[in-house]
Chain A
Amino acid sequence: MPDPNPFTRMDTVSRRKFLLASGVAGAAAIGTGSIGLSLADLLRTAIRDRDDNARKDVTKLVVVTLYGGNDGLNTVIPYADPAYHSARPELAYAPEKVLHLNESLGLNPLMPGMKRLWDEKRLAVVLGVGYPKPDRSHFRSMDIWQTASPVRPVPSGWIGRWLDAEKAAPETAVSFEPVLPPLLAGESRAGSCVSHSGLKLPAGIDQSMVAALGQMEPNESEMRARAALAYADMLKVEQLVREADDTPELTDDKGLLTTGPGTSPLARQLSLVAQCIEAGVPTQVYSVSLDGFDTHASERIYHEKLVTRLDRALAGFVNRMAQTENGRQVAVVVYSEFGRRVRANASDGTDHGTAGPVFITGPRVAGGFYGEQPSLTDLDDGDLKATMDFRDVFGTLLGSVLRADPARYLDGYDARMLPVFSAG
């Protein structure tokens, strides 16, 4: 089948080179489906291809999922609206503390990094994003976002369906989470899943034993070969993680990894993404996440910790990406399964709500507000009314970053394309 996407052609070449160069050509012989991924090998090969891969477009997508339902109103704060202050007296931020983006909206005071991105016009804030008939179950709502199917549960994610149609190689989409997010699951293809936290083997089992177990045997079935290969891949990823840890530039100048106990898994995941992107790894979609946003009580202290992590990790990542041509191909999208209710509850927290802001950022993103901030007084049973369908955001990313027809992957939904990517 001819490659429908001219932008993936170079990657296909790199991929083949990788398979040959890494000595795992046997992996290609055992099947065309998803196999375990050898990032360390990818990285090594890709470094040689670095110049080939340089392009002046946005072609790489990093999806940041905030699990638990981020309180959108305390992230992008309608500080000038009296209704905000009266609905949540203990939780509201004083107008002078908020990092003003315009005369009515501002960022949480603990997001100075994102504020700088805004000032540099590299942060797009899409307002009031949600979907029809909001569901307040974390599980169901996250499912809706990740499958981009608000009407009914479907077995594939919106990226997964694209992987299916592209007959994508396993390294096309990579998750640095412990389990593969539904987002990257297709029906015939899937993203690869590598652990960010490093390798811990049971007592008495050393890496050489695992490496030996990772060898394929002649005449072994495809599934047994894949089972073996997974151990070999695991060790290679471990090597990558260790290399990432040893890279001095990760820890200070570029401000990505905060050192010490403050290092968050999100920063760690993004540091791996950064390394892969700089090296020209042919991965097009990365999935990373930050958990813990389900703040029903004493919200402020927890929420502040989380937005601090988000802010540092994200701003550090985008700043780092701006420094290389490969990095400038990156767009990051940040979303959560829902916002919180407008009114605080009796425990100084907020309960599950509806619409919230989505961030899109990257060196080539045209910063600014997109869409309209929902009213705080014209509510739907105490909740914000969404002003933008989330499929408009994902459709924009499918169309502008992955060069795909959005309707094909959004069950026919006719997405409104947001002009978030500036030319050049």
Chain B
Amino acid sequence: MTDDVALLLRRAAFGPTAAELGQARAAGYTATLSALLTPSGADSGAARAPMPELGPDPYAGKTGVTLEQSRDFDGIRERQIAVINRWWLDRMTVANHQGVEKLVFFWHGHWATSVKKVRSPQLMLAQQRTLRSSRDYADMTRKMVVDPALVAYLDGHLNTRAAPNENLARELLELFTLGIGQYNEKDLKEAGRALTGWRFSLTEERSVFEQAKHDPGIKTILGVTASHDAASLVELLLRQPACAEHVAARLWLRYASSTTPIPEATRDAMTAEFPRTRAMLRALFQNDSFQATAGTLVKQPIEWFVGAMRQLGIRPATLPEKSFIDIVEDLTSLGQRPFAPPNVGGWPSGAAWLSSAAAQVRLRLAGRLAKMLVADRLTPEGMAYVLGVDGWTNRTYAVLREASDPQRLLTIGLVSPEYLVT
């Protein structure tokens, strides 16, 4: 059963470190699962990486910004974005409540919102606060439907009674709650009307409701006729069986398998716990089908990077500026820059991370990380222990044997298929 615990940690957390794995093996599967999903007490690790105070968005409250000003402002925003990137990667690394931290990363991909369009780092941080403070999926959805970054990203502020914009409504139904095919175009149009009147405020870092721009008329959505607004729309969506099923399938995709669909029995066990996300995850991890996915899930670049930082005991916060910039550039080339998913559908999965171009960047980044390693001697077995890998195939073992120093050994270990695919 020891391998089961390792798989659990690799999927539910970043890493894990050898120490965490040792503790988990001693504690057993059930206790480890509880510690991951319902940790007790405050997270002293996360406390070392408090959310940064950025100050106001330079554009907040400004009108008639000149080109010269906008260049300054954009520069300020760029620096602030670098700050939040570093903060989040550091937070993922130092947090002790790893199950919680990994789930925040999951939600960031679910409610995919990119700073490239939102532009305001303050709004991106506000969204992080919402993701972190939400009790469960229902609570989160109520807040996210008017989350200022999401509203900005999906043109919610352009959605008015006079000029409806369906963007936010469409993604809310298709990607965030029900899944495609669970509604028709009429439902979508009416849902768009229900969401009219919300705009984001850079000054207040929240969304503001403008009654005059809201369409208070009668709408029929999914067979329910009422003068729906954002709040009633969310309640209606949460009641749909498709919503629970969609969330279960999304969790399965990221925690279990991107190649095989969620088995019915697993889905049923998970939806029974809806909307309590952590309970849904518990049901997933307790299901036999979860263990059957061992060795098939490709780590996303940020998961791979943060896991390695934890196993090497390096904090992103302590890296020299230049090293950190290089790392973020490499993560960008790998296709995963924090706060910047490629589109509203969120991050790619599976083989999409395994292009030959990505292989080259991964080698480069692994080489950078290996340079940070301080060790006199390391064996392939020791490497497996440090990286929390069950064991090496003959192929990888032979290459590791050939690598004569710890840095090379680590580089090969980090890029090995065994480490990359868990």
Contact A203 B355 (CB under 8 A): no
Chain B residues within an 8 Å CB radius of A199:
360
Instruction: Verify if B146 is at the interface (C-beta below 8 Å from A).
Output: no
Interface string of B228-239 (1 = CB under 8 A from A): 000000000000
Bound-complex Cα distance A152 to B171 (A):
9
Interface string of A325-369 (1 = CB under 8 A from B): 000000000000000000001110001000000000000000000
Query: Among residues 161 to 199 in chain B, which have CB atoms less than 8 Å away from a CB atom of chain A?
Result: 166-167, 170-171
Query: Among residues 213 to 250 in chain A, which have CB atoms less than 8 Å away from a CB atom of chain B?
Result: 213, 215, 217, 220-231, 233-234, 237
Contact B116 A139 (CB under 8 A): yes
Instruction: Verify if A29 is at the interface (C-beta below 8 Å from B).
Output: no
What's the nearest-Cβ distance from chain B to residue A204, in Å? 4
Bound-complex Cα distance A178 to B67 (A):
32
Contact B393 A213 (CB under 8 A): no
Cβ-defined partner of A213 (8 Å) among B171, B298, B334, B416: B416
Contact B357 A195 (CB under 8 A): yes
Cβ-defined partner of A153 (8 Å) among B295, B343, B394, B420: B343
Bound-complex Cα distance A161 to B297 (A):
25
Instruction: Verify if A36 is at the interface (C-beta below 8 Å from B).
Output: yes
Residues of B within 8 Å of A, CB-based: how many?
Answer: 60
Contact B67 A296 (CB under 8 A): yes
Contact A204 B393 (CB under 8 A): no
Taking chain B's interface residues, is the majority helix, strand, or loop, or is none over half, making it mixed?
A: helix
Instruction: Verify if A137 is at the interface (C-beta below 8 Å from B).
Output: yes
* Closest residue on chain A to residue B368 by CB atoms: A202
Chain B residues within an 8 Å CB radius of A34:
351-352
Chain A residues within an 8 Å CB radius of B402:
209, 212
Contact B395 A143 (CB under 8 A): no
Binds B, one of A53-61, A118-126, A186-194, A399-407: A186-194
Bound-complex Cα distance A220 to B67 (A):
56
Chain A residues within an 8 Å CB radius of B403:
204, 209
Chain B residues within an 8 Å CB radius of A228:
395, 417
* Closest residue on chain A to residue B366 by CB atoms: A202
What's the nearest-Cβ distance from chain A to residue B396, in Å? 7
What's the nearest-Cβ distance from chain A to residue B305, in Å? 15
Contact A202 B363 (CB under 8 A): yes
Contact B393 A217 (CB under 8 A): yes
Contact B364 A213 (CB under 8 A): no
Bound-complex Cα distance A346 to B394 (A):
65
Query: Among residues 336 to 358 in chain B, which have CB atoms less than 8 Å away from a CB atom of chain A?
Result: 342-345, 348, 350-352, 354-358
Instruction: Verify if A37 is at the interface (C-beta below 8 Å from B).
Output: yes
Contact A221 B67 (CB under 8 A): no
What's the nearest-Cβ distance from chain A to residue B11, in Å? 14
Contact B356 A33 (CB under 8 A): no
Tell whether A201 pairs with B363 under 8 Å between CB atoms, given A139-B114, A209-B399, A224-B295: yes
Query: Among residues 70 to 103 in chain B, which have CB atoms less than 8 Å away from a CB atom of chain A?
Result: 71
Contact B356 A155 (CB under 8 A): no
Query: Among residues 109 to 145 in chain B, which have CB atoms less than 8 Å away from a CB atom of chain A?
Result: 114, 116-117
Instruction: Verify if A180 is at the interface (C-beta below 8 Å from B).
Output: yes
What's the nearest-Cβ distance from chain A to residue B187, in Å? 16
Contact A347 B67 (CB under 8 A): yes
Instruction: Verify if A140 is at the interface (C-beta below 8 Å from B).
Output: yes
Contact A237 B393 (CB under 8 A): no
Bound-complex Cα distance A34 to B403 (A):
31
Bound-complex Cα distance A195 to B403 (A):
26
Bound-complex Cα distance A377 to B399 (A):
67
Chain B residues within an 8 Å CB radius of A36:
354-356, 359
Interface string of B359-382 (1 = CB under 8 A from A): 111011011101000000000000
Query: Among residues 145 to 166 in chain A, which have CB atoms less than 8 Å away from a CB atom of chain B?
Result: 152-155
Instruction: Verify if B300 is at the interface (C-beta below 8 Å from A).
Output: no
Contact A223 B356 (CB under 8 A): no
Bound-complex Cα distance A137 to B298 (A):
32
Tell whether A226 pairs with B364 under 8 Å between CB atoms, given A179-B357, A217-B393: no
Tell whether A221 pairs with B393 under 8 Å between CB atoms, given A153-B344, A193-B356: no
Interface string of A25-55 (1 = CB under 8 A from B): 0000000011111000000000000000000
What's the nearest-Cβ distance from chain A to residue B97, in Å? 28
Instruction: Verify if A205 is at the interface (C-beta below 8 Å from B).
Output: yes
Query: Among residues 2 to 33 in chain A, which have CB atoms less than 8 Å away from a CB atom of chain B?
Result: 33
Cβ-defined partner of A221 (8 Å) among B333, B334, B421: B421
Interface string of B53-75 (1 = CB under 8 A from A): 00000000000000110010000
Bound-complex Cα distance A376 to B357 (A):
43
Instruction: Verify if A101 is at the interface (C-beta below 8 Å from B).
Output: no
By CB atoms of chain A within 10 A, which of B171, B343, B361, B405 has the most?
B343
What's the nearest-Cβ distance from chain A to residue B118, in Å? 10
Bound-complex Cα distance A13 to B74 (A):
53
Bound-complex Cα distance A221 to B393 (A):
12
Bound-complex Cα distance A185 to B421 (A):
22
Instruction: Verify if A182 is at the interface (C-beta below 8 Å from B).
Output: yes
Contact B399 A213 (CB under 8 A): yes
Interface string of B305-345 (1 = CB under 8 A from A): 00000000000000000000000000011110000001111
Cβ-defined partner of A33 (8 Å) among B117, B166, B351, B363: B351
* Closest residue on chain A to residue B416 by CB atoms: A213
Instruction: Verify if A92 is at the interface (C-beta below 8 Å from B).
Output: no
What's the nearest-Cβ distance from chain A to residue B340, in Å? 9
Bound-complex Cα distance A351 to B355 (A):
36
* Closest residue on chain B to residue A33 by CB atoms: B351
By CB atoms of chain A within 10 A, which of B343, B350, B360 has the most?
B360
What's the nearest-Cβ distance from chain B to residue A322, in Å? 30
Contact B399 A212 (CB under 8 A): yes
Contact B395 A230 (CB under 8 A): no
Chain B residues within an 8 Å CB radius of A345:
67
Query: Given known contacts A223-B351, A228-B417, what 12 new A-B pairs fall within 8 Å (CB)?
Result: A34-B352, A36-B359, A153-B167, A154-B343, A192-B356, A194-B357, A209-B399, A223-B259, A223-B298, A227-B354, A227-B421, A228-B395
**What are some 15 contacts across the A-B interface (CB < 8 A)?**
A36-B356, A139-B116, A154-B343, A155-B343, A178-B333, A192-B356, A193-B357, A195-B360, A202-B368, A210-B363, A213-B412, A220-B417, A221-B295, A233-B356, A237-B356
Q: Which 9 A-B pairs have the closest CB atoms?
A: A202-B367, A155-B345, A227-B417, A233-B356, A230-B359, A224-B417, A234-B356, A139-B116, A193-B357
